[in-house]
Amino acid sequence: RGYEMARLGLLPVIRLGRQIRVDLNAFEEWAKNGGTSLPSIKDKK
């Protein structure tokens, strides 16, 4: 779910080429402000 949240812009990340890094200070501030919830994902079968 973390990768999906980063892809959707819901999680504060820094992209270095193909790598995704989370800045600790930005993440703590994001979490302190309640973050954002990702709606549940239903499997499509």
Instruction: Please list the pLDDT of the chain residue by residue as tens digits (45 residues).
Output: 888 888 888 888 889 998 999 888 888 888 888 886 555 545 444
Quote the pLDDT of residue 37. Answer: 59
Is 21 a domain residue? Answer: yes
Label each residue of 4-39 as H, E or C.
Answer: HHHHCCCCCCEEECCEEECCHHHHHHHHHCCCCCCC
State the DSSP code for 24. H
Residues spanned by the domain of 8:
2-32
Number of domains in the chain: 1
pTM beyond 0.85: no
10 within some domain: yes
Residue 25 CA to residue 44 CA, distance in Å, equals: 36
For strands 14-16 and 19-21, give the pairing.
antiparallel
User: Within a domain: residue 41?
Assistant: no
